[in-house]
Amino acid sequence: MHENLYFTNRKVNSVCWASLNHLDSHVLLCLMGIAETPGCATLLPASLFVSSHPGDRPGMLCSFRIPGAWSCAWSLNIQANNCFSTGLSRRVLVTNVVTGHRQSFGTSSDVLAQQFAVLAPLLFNGCRSGEVFAIDLRCRNQGKDWKATRLFHDSAVTSVQILQEEQSLMASDMAGTIKLWDLRTTKCLRQYEGHVNEYAHLPLHVHEEEGIVVAVGQDCYTRIWSLHDGHLLRTIPSPHPTSKADIPSVAFSARLGGFRGAPGLLMAVQQDLYCFSY
């Protein structure tokens, strides 16, 4: 890993997997502009990080000038093939990496979280204003009625997760609220209590196969809830002295270590990596 680090020399505002050639073939980075250098979204081949021969490392695939992107998402929807989205200040930009064609949608607030649906031609967005809305990808630029769904939180939305059947969506915000929404009725189905957040951009992890929701709060505690009834299953304190500026990062796997692996939670804190059996 240490021999294959990629340095951008600029702040990375957002990063996600991109499936251009095949599933997770690339990494999409949103880089902040500095001095005379504009902000951009860059696609890097994932092989850059796994090649064992330095001479075989591919270069940057492509880069698109995009000012001040807060969030990004890659589309696996056939109606937005080879496209990615970036959430900007008061704007959403959908870009086709093959043709360079762009669609721009004006918003009333900064877009901090995004995810494409796979079955429906929709892009879901979470805003600093607390609004969660979906863009109908079949609409043209600035077309009418492109907001297909609208939900509202009382604080800035930092994470949106579409569940597998695409009939519900989970969102978390900067007030520590986590809600499961019914996309058909736009009603809140369930709320998950105990998450701690005051102002941080914290991710939310949903694992439907195991039926759990995982989030790390600003208090540096990792909490695991039951997806189906909202019950708090486990609270894990940070194993390392931490602060609000050094919040643990977690990832859950149903088969940690490979096909025959057991479920487990990985937690990274400063220079250490911990594994918790499920």
Q: What is the predicted pLDDT for the residue at 1?
A: 44
Q: What is the predicted pLDDT for the residue at 38?
A: 86
What span, in angstroms and rounded, lies between the C-alpha atoms of 84 and 102?
Answer: 10
Buried b or exposed e, range 75-111, using 16+ CB within 10 angstroms: bebeebeebbbbbbeebbbbbebeeeeebebebebbb
Give the model confidence (pLDDT) of 21-38 as tens digits: 899 999 999 999 887 888
Give the model confidence (pLDDT) of 162-177 as tens digits: 998 899 999 999 999 9
Q: Which residues contact 5 (CB under 8 A, 6 or more apart)?
A: none
Q: With 80 as the cut, is the pLDDT of residue 142 above it?
A: no
Please, what is the average pLDDT of the chain? Answer: 90
Q: What is the predicted pLDDT for the residue at 203?
A: 93
Q: Which of 33-42, 92-101, 183-192, 265-274 has the lowest mean pLDDT?
A: 33-42
Q: Which residue has the higher pLDDT, 164 or 198?
A: 198
Q: What is the predicted pLDDT for the residue at 196?
A: 96
Say if residue 178 is exposed, middle or buried (CB neighbours under 10 Å; 0-12, 13-18, 19+).
Answer: buried
Give the model confidence (pLDDT) of 237-278 as tens digits: 999 888 888 899 999 998 888 888 888 999 999 889 999 987
Q: What is the predicted pLDDT for the residue at 55?
A: 54
Residue type, 96: N
